[in-house]
Structure 1
């Protein structure tokens, strides 16, 4: 499922449900870059499922080491432990010559 983000026109892939009536998802948007190229910055957004509105969004400037795709290009998953928040991404498609790798990012809680 994708929902248009009215603030940046970034498609948000629904990724991980929370206990609240909201979810966190990742996505990318394509922007023009020099020399007739494009740049695909990614980010995470907190989406209210009742109103279908973005409550908060942040850039996530991480990229695949093999293809330079944005880490949030494909659906993401989040989990918490007692001490950290963990984000799982797989930014590359299986059809890419390099395949795809699971990338794991962690941030301490508290």
Structure 2
């Protein structure tokens, strides 16, 4: 299944459970929880399957959060890509630092 189809299924799943109308501040807490689980999995060197599930959980939560905020996740991703598409910078200690922050 492709990402568009899966995102659509996530949206239907969320609407069926009225999550699209829930409090975004609660969903933000859920996002922090899921990101924390992902960080713990990376820190503990967990297997690929666990990392895949943790990353997927983060995507599900941000998709629902975008719905609660009246935004479309695809539009958010497109906007973010527009910001980085031509970004220049370099790796510093394993982290990409954008050019404007290097000065």
Is the TM-score greater than 0.5? no
The higher radius of gyration belongs to 2
**TM-score after normalising by structure 2:** 0.23
Bigger RCO of structures 1 and 2 (CA < 8 A, at least 6 apart): 2
Name the structure with the higher helix share.
2
